[in-house]
Structure 1
Amino acid sequence: MKYQGRIQQWDDAKGFGFVEPNGGGMRAFAHIKAFKKRSRRPINGDIIVYEVEQDKKGTLRAHDICLLKDYKAKRSHANKQTSQTKRNAILLSIFFGVLALFTLSGRVSFMITILYGAISLLTILLYGIDKSAAKKDKWRISEAKLHLLSLLGGWPGALLAQQMFKHKRSKSSFMRVYWVTVMVNLILLGLVGFEVINTQAFMMDI
């Protein structure tokens, strides 16, 4: 269970103090090592979000501590990612639905649908390799290659890989180029469908 409280008697040199929950209750010991990904060192009066555990001596200890500002930022980021995931799922559902419709109606060759699937799988694989290489500080796959795959039809796979591996999606410069490749690919797909329709109409006139 998470509590919200205020730090008191904080000794920054020793890296510990106490926290009293808002609304009253038993105070708990708080150590600097119990803070998660803090944006700065805590000070007296800081409001924190934390959980409580009891050690072998019966002392209450705060753990899994976040500064309130960091906690709110983390929640906001999580909500943003959830919203982004839903948006991406809707986009992919619409795309594959339209692609299936175009394929069944003969406007797009079945081979193009297969290519989208194959290139998307390759793109997911390369995103995974690049993510692993980034963690191990090894040779990376160039962003140009990842964008080229998206442009050639692997953008659905890239979108899935960004969510699966939490890779590249927070890099704004990369994502701007990525969405350009998506738009260009969709335009080219639309032109292919339009050309097929015109060809079919011409053949019917003959």
Structure 2
Amino acid sequence: MREQGILAKWDDAKGYGFIQPQGGGPRLFVHIKAFGLRAGRPFVGERLSFEPGRDAQGKARALKVQSLEPRRPVTPPAAAPRAAGTARAAGSASLWLIPLFAVLVLLTHLAWPLPHGLWGFYVAMSLATFIVYWQDKRSAQRGGWRVAEGTLHGLALACGWPGALLAQQMLRHKSAKPAFRRVFWACVAGNILLFVLLFTPLLAQWRRV
């Protein structure tokens, strides 16, 4: 039996949101797949009809969603696709940071021998981070539980940022959200700075000053 409601919250990057039923009651989770084929993206305030249902875990959600709006509000001109293309190009260019960091590690090792296994630790953490990004991307597509952004940032700070960079570009995940990117790059800078302070004489020189 179909019901009606309003799209009260929508995250276009993640592809899900929540519908407030017209008759009251708790909000219902809705995934982009529930909308089927439609001309435009869902938007907050859109009037919808839907069938109440449940997912594989038995949680309430909206199914077979249809718009009750005569037409979608006018969207901004095609600056958004150009901005997305610019962001992807900048992200691809940022991959050069990985070989540059590898050169930094090599030069540092030649000048001041590094602990055994340090590079292996970076590789292991990067692989683990890539897998976590992949799982989060998969959960986003299926409407499942997501990995907290704080966890992703923690992995990047703990030497996993090369794997995070690869995942962002290869999986197209977390590569266009400005707030996330700002914190991510702060974690990358923090990790590289910590590496320099711990494994070069720079910290000792500062202490002498």
Q: Which TM-score applies when normalising by structure 1?
A: 0.57
Whether 1:78 aligns to 2:85 is yes
Say which one has the larger Rg.
1
In 2 relative to 1, CA 157–135 (structure 1 residues): closer, same or farther, beyond 3 Å?
same
Measured against aligned partners, the alpha-carbon deviations of 1:112-143 in whole angstroms (never above 9, x if no partner) come to 11111100000000000000000101111111
3-state SS of 1:148 partner = helix
Q: Does 1:89 align with 2:95?
A: yes
Q: Which residues of structure 1 form unaligned runs of 5+?
A: 1-34, 39-68, 199-206
**Contact 1:108/1:192, CA 8 A, preserved across alignment:** no
Q: Report the equivalent of 1:164.
A: 170
Match of 2:144 in 1: 138
**Structure 1 residue ranges, 4+ long, deviating more than 3 angstroms after superposition:** 35-38, 104-107, 195-198
Deviation of 1:145 after TM superposition, in Å, equals 1.1
RMSD: 2.9
Q: Report 1 or 2 for greater relative contact order, CA contacts < 8 Å, sequence distance ≥ 6.
A: 2
Give the 3 Å change call, closer, same or farther, for CA 172–76 of structure 1 in structure 2. closer
Q: Would the alpha carbon gap of residues 73 and 127 (structure 1) be closer, same or farther in structure 2, given more than 3 Å must change? A: same
Which has the larger helix fraction? Answer: 1
Q: Which runs of 5+ in 2 are unaligned?
A: 1-37, 42-76, 205-209
- Give 1:48's aligned residue: none
Aligned-pair identity (%): 34
* CA deviation string 1:8-52 (max 9, x = no partner): xxxxxxxxxxxxxxxxxxxxxxxxxxx9869xxxxxxxxxxxxxx
Deviations 1:138-169 (A, max 9, x none): 11111111111111100111111110111111
Please state if 1:128 is matched with 2:134. Answer: yes
Instruction: Give the conservation status (yes or no) of the 8 Å contact 1:123–1:149.
Output: yes
Q: 1:106 to 1:180 in 2, by over 3 A?
A: same
2:146 match: secondary structure? coil
Aligned length: 135
Contact 1:151 1:185 in 2 (8 A): yes
